[in-house]
Amino acid sequence: MKRTWTNMLVHEAAIMEMRAQGLSRREITEKLGLNMKQLHNFITRHNNRAKATPTTIKPRGRPRKRPITTTEEQTLRIKELEREVAMLRSFLLAVGRM
């Protein structure tokens, strides 16, 4: 049996509209002339894509017990920049540009 390939992105808008109307998967496949397995796989991939795109960025690490003040934030940023400058200087020395 020869395998058939259907570009499901062509039918994406129609499928989502029919799902919003409350049609069953069987009714959708009959109207569009698709296999149940094709529709099932498409809907699964569509739902996984929707889950994969986060709406907000989740903060990393454990939350602070007390909020950081602006002076503390500034000193931490200064230390971070100093480390970055030191790293760049060591790189330039290793390359021979300094």
Tell me the residue type at 46. Answer: H
The pLDDT confidence band at residue 97, using thresholds 50, 70 and 90, is: confident
pLDDT digits (tens, 9 = 90+) for 40-82: 999 999 999 888 877 787 788 898 898 889 999 999 999 999 9
The string of DSSP codes covering 8-24 is HHHHHHHHHHHHHHT--
Locate tokens 């020869």: which residue? Answer: 2
Q: What is the pTM of this model?
A: 0.51
Residue spans of alpha helices (H) in 1-98: 8-21, 25-32, 36-52, 70-95
